[in-house]
Amino acid sequence: MSEGPWESSFAIPASHPCLPGHFPGRPVVPGVVLLDQVMEAARAAGLGRAARLPAAKFLRPVLPEERVTLTMRRTASGRVAFTGRVGEDLAFQGEIAEG
Catalytic residues: 22
Q: Which residues, at least 6 apart from 42, have a Cβ–Cβ distance to it below 8 Å?
A: 1, 48, 50, 72, 80, 82, 96
Q: Which residues pair with 70 in a beta bridge?
A: 8, 84
